[in-house]
Structure 1
Amino acid sequence: MGTVDEVRGVALSLPRTTEHLIRDRVKFRVGRIVYLALSQDETTLGFAFPKEERDALIATDPARFFLPPVSDLRFNWVCGHLATLGGDELRDLIVDAWRMVVPKRVYTAWAR
């Protein structure tokens, strides 16, 4: 079971990440690009994810993953129920989302 503290700990350990409170939602950004966001009630997590792969992710477990609101479908984004995510899986989702928004050299240096 994932927690807000776990999300915060992983996200803030990644280079260039900053935390912001935007419209009563905790969001994590690199520069101006948001790659991770918690819902207002902190029960769901939105994260950067390739558009062409999100239907496959949702199909693997539709009880855990779902599409964002229609207005956000244009973005590389998918959502998950935080209570069903945790451990290595949650960490991997966060790192993969972050990797989408940082330069390759930043990721390469971090991965070493």
Structure 2
Amino acid sequence: MAPRRELDRLRALCLALPETSERLSHGEPTWFIRGKKTFVMFADHHHDDDRLAFWCPAPPGAQEGLVRTEPDRFFRPPYVGHRGWLGVRLDVDVDWTEIDRIVRDAYRLVAPKSLAVLLGS
């Protein structure tokens, strides 16, 4: 799948969430809650790393477990990996239902409780 199509699908998931917006940050499309808090960053071959991916915060322990068990799909991203953020590849066989869950989990971790509760469980 072409990078543009992957970006469009990711964009649709992110912008479907309450009070989200998109703007460029560090040269890549990035999604914010209430224009301030980042919850997903697109990464199109960041520093020539040969990955089409996105980065997002993950629940405690999720990054370590996913990177260990599925290193072809998940990675520890630069700059934010030390804070538990997860790198998710989009240039492999992608399960968009799983991507939606990961994006929603990231949103819940960053959003104010009044917005996070709108997603349900």
TM-score bin (small chain): 0.7 to 0.9
Aligned to 1:86: 95
Of 72, 81, 105, the residue aligned with 2:80 is 72
Q: Which runs of 5+ in 2 are unaligned?
A: 46-50
SS of 2:83's partner is: coil
Unaligned runs of 5+ in 1: none
| 1:38 partner letter | F
Q: Give secondary structure in 1 for the equivalent of 2:17.
A: coil
Give the Cα–Cα distance (whole angstroms) in 2 for the partners of residues 100 and 24 of structure 1.
24
SS at match of 1:3: helix
Counting matched residue pairs gives 111
Q: Is the 8 A contact 1:67 1:73 kept in 2?
A: yes
Give the aligned partner of residue 17 of structure 2.
Answer: 14
Residue 54 in 1 paired to residue 63 in 2?
Answer: yes
Conservation of the 8 A alpha-carbon contact between 2:57 and 2:85: yes
Partner of 1:35: 39
Q: Distance in 2 between matches of 1:103 and 1:57?
A: 26
The range that moved more, 94-103 or 83-92, is 83-92
Q: What is the TM-score normalised by the length of structure 2? A: 0.79
Q: Are 2:59 and 2:105, in contact at CA under 8 Å, matched by a contact in 1?
A: no
| Displacement of 1:86 | 3.1
1:38-65 CA-to-partner distances (Å, cap 9, x unmatched) read 1144811111113433111112200110
Determine the C-alpha separation between the residues in 2 that align with 1:98 and 1:58. 20
Answering whether residue 48 of structure 2 is matched by residue 45 of structure 1, we say no
Determine which structure has greater relative contact order: mean sequence separation of CA pairs < 8 Å that are 6+ residues apart, divided by chain length.
1
Residue 99 of structure 1 corresponds to 108
Deviation digits for residues 70-97 of structure 1 (CA, Å, limit 9, x no counterpart): x323323110211233320111111111
